[in-house]
Structure 1
Amino acid sequence: MRSPRSDTEGVFYKNITDSHDPFTTDIELQSADDSPLMNHTVKSFLWKDITVTVKDHKTKQPKSILDGVDGLVEPGEICALMGPSGCGKTTLLNVLAHRDAATGAKVEGHTLVNGTAASLSVFRTLSSYVEQEDALIGSLTVRETLHFAARLAHKNTLSAKDRKSRIEGLLDSFGLRNQSNTIIGTPIQKGISGGQKRRVSVASQLITGPKILFLDEPTSGLDSAASLEVVSYVKKVAKKNNLIVIASIHQPSTSTFELFDKLVLLSGGKQHYFGPVDGVGAHFELLGFPMPRQINPAEFLLEMMNIDFASHQEAAQARLNEMHKAWITSPCAKELKTQMTISLKNAEPFTLKAEPSKGNFPIVLMTLVHRAFVKSYRDVVAYGIRIAMYTGLAIMMGTVWLRLHTEQDDIQPFINAIFFGSAFMSFMAVAYVPSYLEDRATFVKERYNGLYGSAAFIISNFIIGLPYLFLITLIFSSIAYWLSNFQPTAHAFFSWIMWLFLDLVAAESLVVLMSSIFPNFVISLALTAFANGLWMSVGGFLVTPTILNVFWKYVFHYIDYQSYVFQGMMVNEFQHRTYGCGADCRCIYESELSDQCRISGTAVLDQYGYKTHETGKWVGILLAIVLGYRLLGWAALCLRK
């Protein structure tokens, strides 16, 4: 067995040379008093008899996804999980990383660190997981991505100098020095390349100080040169820092394949090989399957393991079964059992030195707000496009309902304008869906790696949205309100702003709720639009509350945030205003001013059943609805762990 360096106490990185060549930059491990583990050194990570079964949807019988898989990886080694599509390699990676294997799956077996079972909290401290998709914030630069990752991981336990030192070391080690001030990239703004994104994803996890790093398809979507580039950097850092790296990989090139130290070969959930990469050829040669020269070894192995396209399925399956039986009795399997026995005999439990400090929450919250602020003002998709969209909507509304008069013929246009200004403004909040889903993807990755929880994410998301929503409200109102000739007083104008701001806050909170429950762009967009359509229908404009049937009134009307905004704006406009009845003095609304050929605005309110002097009550209900949406969004994120 390979012996880990005895002086390693925590995987923390520091650039100790001035070289910018990633292969000459030296990175060393440093002891850290801030590490929460009493026993810092990871000497081995093994898994034994990993079996995963699910219920088959057709037969309703248990179906095996993984069957008795074993393995052991030591510090400084990178291990590849390989096999044809559907062989179970992603499931195995998730089990090893203490993630959900599959919906309704039953998981059996053991994953042991230093020969002992680590609790979930300890394991999350020890490990990091890099998703197949790069869950990066596209509007941040490479340096900013590492900077915020370091702040979230160490929560001010590092000085600014030490944090900068670690960031500089990783930039050099992963060859990202020249791209350090380049943004990751958004659908609108071009950023770094795909290979560089993968390196940033790995580097942002390494800065958190893991001992075990899991990579899900790190070369997915990359060409052979970029794949070699990414795996080369990972191998370099793993060797330098005694990291354990386990990666699922689909079909690597020969050069990339030979960079791995160990290989787990799966087919149909069964293990067909575990051992050194340079020994796999000899193993299959003993079985009567010599590896041809001048062929990619990975392609050769995958072709043997894949029977999906075999012309004789039964014969191919029988051949695979024989290979599996031969593996069980092979010298490589016996060597693995011996190494696992030694590891179990030398078991060293991990124990937490102390519970995480509760004082970390404000630090995490401030970091998330800071990062969200940088993203929001730099990424036009987040709020820039919405500001432009709402500005155009304000100009359209102001010119369609241009200079309405205080005559009875304009009463209905005033009401229509109020409905449009409130309902359609909240409806257009669906434009926030893609930005929130990007933030949520980053949150899911960081929560899995134990950096923070749902509460910090929901609160920071709420805080950062407030100034932008107020800016949108102010721009829209300054244009549409005065062009349409709503009540021309400062009090009425600022009351309108208050109602519209609360309307947008509630609408964005609805987006957060729907997108948290259904984190799919099309589904969350459709459901948010449907919900807003429902609120429009029962809000009081299309059917007045006085005649709305009891089901819709008592089930939906009273929890409809748009209904409180609409009646608040109606009272704001009509409470202190009168309207002329025309030259023939035929008033369409009866009021105490009819004998003066005038209509009191309160008569309009009476038609809708709206009372005055209840602004405080309606504002309180709106705030409660906003809080309810956010709490439900938080609960949805918690339940989807």
Structure 2
Amino acid sequence: LKQLPRISSAGASTFPVIYEGVVASNSSSSTRDVSCPSPTWYLPASAPPTIHNQQMNNRATIFGSFDRQLSLLDPMSDRVSTILVWQNLIVSTREDKKSQLLQRMKLSKNAAPKKKVLLHNISGAITGGLWAVMGASGSGKSTLLNTLACRLDVNTVVEGEMRLNGAPYDNAELKRIAGYVMQDDLLNGYLTVEETLMYTAKLRLPRTFTDKQREERVEDVLNDLGLVHVRKATIGSQIKQGISGSERKRLCVSMQLLNRPQLLFLDEPTTGLDSVTALDLLHTLHAIAHGKSQEKAVTIVCSIHQPQSKIFNLFDSLTLLKSGNIIYQGPRKQAMEVFRAAGFPCPLYTNPADHLLDVITPAKTGDREDVHQQEEATDKAIIQCQNPIEIDLNMGVDKRLEQMGSLPLNPTWFQQVHILLQRNFTEQKRKWKITAVCLLQTIIMAVLIGTVFLRIGQTQSSIVRRESVIFFCIINQGIFGALTVINSFPVERTLTLRERASGTYFASSYFIAKIIADTLVQIPIPIAFSCIVYFLVGLDATVGKFFMFTLFTLLCSMSSTSLALMISALCQTTDMSVTVLPMALEVTRLFSGFFLAPSRLPKYFTWLDALSYVKYSFVGVSLNEFQGLRLSCANTRSIPVNATYSITNQCIERGEYFITERGYDYLNIWECVGILFAIIIFCRFCAFIGVRFLKN
């Protein structure tokens, strides 16, 4: 060891630091005989203006040159199956259309939309092994990963060339051969580890696979990721304890490895893990990237902030980012040699990853202009110590025919619906307490309504009570049905978008399976309600009328559920959904035909009346009950029908009189049934549109 003066580094101290001694010949060979000038130290403010301005423009010269951005390809892997190349890549964000419109209205019609550049004209290649994308916060790590994986936001603009095995690619093609593990671990908390992997295997493995082959693949990844001991454990959620954070991360990785991808992206895989667990996970990823068989070899790209030295040494190659620019890309072992040749040797007993980031991260203290000039000099020295090479966009073109020709077909749409139905029923079975509480609430409300309106009979006074109990039954089932599903799509939204982005299933197959499963669970509730209420109240005891009453109760519940599903899908969040739903329910209740009879409806409210599913349910049940009803004239007296109308000293013997007087006869029973079916279909179609196209 020898003591060397530290030339420059972000946050450099004035006292001497002990560095590893380096033989000059080794240093020159490691940098491929590139002449690496020492970094030019920043000039004081009193320097001549011409020199000072030249130093201030160094940054544009450094990062504006395409040659300075070229990457060193990884020569280590001898079993590279996928080569990902990008050239002159510029990524920027723009304001969404709503913000642009408001900005133009506020300023002028010619106001240019705001634009922020995230990646500045970078080029490089991923050629096999375990890669690390490093950089300080905001340097563009996640942006680079999302750009290469075709997972950017719609308001992001990408310029430049990206090639997969020598040909342009899109998200649809990439997700068939690549996997992506997000930073946060979103999983279905009601399933076990083995069930999660098995359903994923059924959805993502080729349709020609047998159940035995899928089970073997699941067993394989359970062993590879060390999850055998928790295979029967429930994943859990925030309110229910399940597997640990490390096991959740391993499960997310194993789900992506089921279909043996050739390329795997991981965004901050060590976030939230302790040092031992993080190291264990990276050992697993390193083993996967250097699999014993050709089939298991996977090119893995990880964005990582500041790994410990043991983790850093597991990476084969490194991409170092700073403010959207590539400072270094190439073999991990060569990075320290490049920095040493540039005048920034790593101090002894210092984490190499910490040292690399310390060097390229600007100091937070000191004169801003001096710090800026020192930063430019540091960047220039590091970049000039790397041998730029030409990026060949046709690299890997010989692998493409074999790669794309061997891609199997995924399960069909009907197979996806069947598998998702099984998964939904498994989830519903684990949520049996919620279903049991809903059924118990329904029984309690049915008994309360039945006892309040117990045996209303067929006297003249029963007319008012009969109409009131019908209205209350319709409202009760409508509200209960809507409130049980208002949180349905928002809770699953993020997980569903992630699974769809991975090519697990179509949006339509997910929607159909969910609707079928939820409907089958929902059907028994209004049926149980009808069986209790109908006979306790003493409505017209006719078999046909009972089944028609049950049908309208069921259709009312499904209509309210469909309305709530549409609102939750279009509003996207639970907070917005529960804000909009009460207004929709109140409007449908106000124009239900009970408070404002069809015969007394003002013309300017006709359109609102036509949209109310409660009105068609109420009118349909009223027609069903009053048609053919015979009333007794005993003890005839003044009968208040509502707040503005009463019948005095008149005996109504037939229910048809009441139908005509209230104006319910403008529709018949089957027209009400048909309109309710139309409302259900329309609302659920709108819900599907929201699920399919609203992704932000």
TM-score (norm 1): 0.83
Which structure 2 residues correspond to residues 142-153 of structure 1 after superposition, within 5 A? 142-153=193-204
Residues 470 and 622 in structure 2, CA contact (< 8 A), matched pair in contact too = yes
Structure number with greater Rg is: 2
C-alpha displacement of 1:172: 1.0
Q: Do 1:147 and 1:167's aligned partners in 2 also have CA atoms closer than 8 Å?
A: yes
Given that 2:265 and 2:301 are in contact with CA atoms closer than 8 Å, whether structure 1 keeps it comes out as yes
Q: Which whole-Å CA distance do the structure 2 matches of 1:147 and 1:426 have between them?
A: 37
Which runs of structure 2 are paired with 1:203-602 in the superposition (5 Å)? Answer: 203-240=254-291, 241-302=296-357, 313-331=368-386, 334=388, 337=389, 340-341=391-392, 344=395, 348-350=399-401, 352-353=404-405, 360-380=412-432, 383-428=435-480, 429-554=482-607, 556-579=608-631, 583-588=635-640, 597-598=651-652, 600-602=654-656
Look up the match of 1:11. Answer: none
CA contact (8 A) 2:200 2:255 kept: yes
- The residue aligned with 2:89 is 50
Deviation for aligned residue 1:170: 0.8
Equivalenced residue count is 599
In structure 1, give the amino acid aligned to 2:690: A
Shift of residue 147, structure 1, vs aligned partner: 0.9
- Counterparts of 2:113 and 2:599, CA distance in 1: 53
Matches within 5 A, 1:62-77: 62-75=115-128, 77=129
Cα 1:140–1:585 change in 2 (3 A) is same
Q: What is the CA distance between 1:140 and its match in structure 2?
A: 1.3
How far did residue 209 of structure 1 move?
2.7
Q: How far apart are residue 389 of structure 1 and its match?
A: 4.1
Q: Secondary structure at 1:349's aligned position in 2? A: helix
User: Which deviates the most, 416-425 or 43-52?
Assistant: 416-425
Contact 1:80 1:246 in 2 (8 A): yes
1:565 deviates by 1.6
Contact 1:427/1:529, CA 8 A, preserved across alignment = no
Tell me the C-alpha RMSD between the 2 structures.
3.4
Tell me the residue number matched to 2:32: none
- Would you say 1:177 and 2:228 are equivalent positions? yes
The one-letter code of the counterpart of 1:520 is: T
Q: Relative to 1, partners in 2 of residues 1:486 and 1:54: Cα closer, same or farther, differing over 3 Å?
A: same
For residue 603 of structure 1, report the CA deviation from its aligned partner: 3.7
Match of 1:625 in 2: 679
Call closer, same or farther: CA 1:353–1:366 in 2, change over 3 Å: same
**AA paired with 2:137?**
S
Q: Does 1:640 align with 2:694?
A: yes
1:118 Cα deviation from its structure 2 partner: 3.0
Listed one character per residue, the Cα deviations across residues 68-109 of structure 1 (whole Å, up to 9, x for unaligned) are 23332233x22233333333222222111112x234221012
Matched, 1:81 2:133: yes
Task: Sort the Cα spacing of 1:521 and 1:595 in 2 relative to 1 into closer, same or farther, 3 A.
Answer: closer
Distance in structure 2 (CA, Å) of the matches to 1:491 and 1:130: 57
Which deviates further from its counterpart, 439-448 or 285-294? Answer: 285-294
Separation of aligned partners in 2, 1:441 and 1:426: 28
8 Å Cα contact 2:342-2:385 kept in structure 1: no
Distance 1:491 1:73 in 2: 71
After TM superposition, give the deviation of residue 581 of structure 1 in Å.
6.5
**Is contact 2:133–2:302 with CA below 8 Å preserved after alignment?**
yes
Shift of 1:613: 7.1
Question: 1:313 deviation in Å?
Answer: 5.0
SS at match of 2:659: helix
Q: 2:362 & 2:634 partners in 1: Cα distance?
A: 86
* Shift in CA distance, 640/297, structure 1 to aligned 2, threshold 3 Å: farther
Conserved? CA contact 1:514–1:527, under 8 Å: yes
Task: Give the 3-state SS of the residue equivalent to 1:115 in structure 2.
Answer: coil
* Secondary structure of residue in 1 paired with 2:490: helix
Deviations 1:425-476 (A, max 9, x none): 3333233244433444333222212232122111111211222111122232
Q: 1:322-375, CA deviations, whole angstroms, 9 ceiling, x for partnerless residues?
A: 4444444331x62xx35x449638654347549986981211111111111111
Give SS of 1:213's match: strand
8 Å Cα contact 1:80-1:248 kept in structure 2: yes
Task: Say which SS state the counterpart of residue 344 (structure 1) adopts.
Answer: coil
Aligned mates of 1:300, 1:138 — CA distance in 2? 40
Distance in 1, Cα, partners of 2:597 & 2:661: 8
Partner of 2:46: none
Matches for 1:3-152 after TM superposition, within 5 Å: 42-55=81-94, 60-75=113-128, 77-99=129-151, 101-152=152-203
Residues 615 and 46 from structure 1, CA distance in 2 versus in 1: closer, same or farther, beyond 3 angstroms? same
CA deviation after TM superposition for structure 1 residue 46, in Å: 2.4
CA contact (8 A) 1:138 1:183 kept: yes
The residue type paired with residue 364 of structure 1 is Q
State the 1:145 CA deviation. 0.9
Q: Look up the match of 1:13.
A: none
Output the amino acid matched with 1:585: R
Against the structure 1 CA distance between its residues 600 and 68, is the aligned structure 2 distance closer, same or farther, given a 3 Å change threshold? same
Shift in CA distance, 415/155, structure 1 to aligned 2, threshold 3 Å: farther
C-alpha spacing 1:145/1:358, structure 2 compared with 1 (3 Å): closer
SS at match of 2:241: coil
The answer for the alignment partner of 2:669 in structure 1 is 615
Is 1:165 aligned with 2:220? Answer: no
Distance 2:591 2:366 in 1: 61
Percent identity reads 28
Query: CA separation in 1, counterparts of 2:515 and 2:661?
Result: 37
Give the unaligned 5+ runs of structure 2. 1-73, 104-111
TM-score, length basis structure 2: 0.77
* Residue range with higher mean Cα deviation, 204-213 or 487-496: 487-496
What code does the residue aligned with 2:150 have? H
Query: How far did 1:548 drift?
Result: 3.8
Q: Shift in Å at residue 226 of structure 1?
A: 3.2
* 1:632 Cα offset (Å): 2.0
When structure 1 is superposed on structure 2, of 123-132 and 341-350 the one drifting more is: 341-350
Alpha carbons of 1:214 and 1:537: their partners in 2 closer, same or farther (altered >3 Å)? Answer: farther
Shift of 1:202: 1.3
> What is the distance in 2 between the residues matched to 1:633 and 1:360?
23
Distance 1:446 1:636 in 2: 17
In the alignment, residue 527 of structure 2 is paired with which amino acid? L
User: CA 1:295/1:573 → structure 2, altered by over 3 Å: closer, same or farther?
Assistant: farther
Relative distance call for 1:121 and 1:608 in structure 2 (3 A) is: same
Post-superposition CA distance 1:264-290 (Å, at most 9, x none): 333332223323334444444444444
Distance in structure 1 (CA, Å) of the matches to 2:576 and 2:277: 34
Indicate the SS of the match to 2:138: coil
Work out the CA distance in 2 between the residues paired with 1:398 and 1:283.
Answer: 84
Separation in 2 of the partners of 1:521 and 1:310?
44
Could you tell me which amino acid in structure 2 is paired with residue 363 of structure 1?
Q
Shift of 1:151: 0.9
C-alpha spacing 1:318/1:516, structure 2 compared with 1 (3 Å): farther
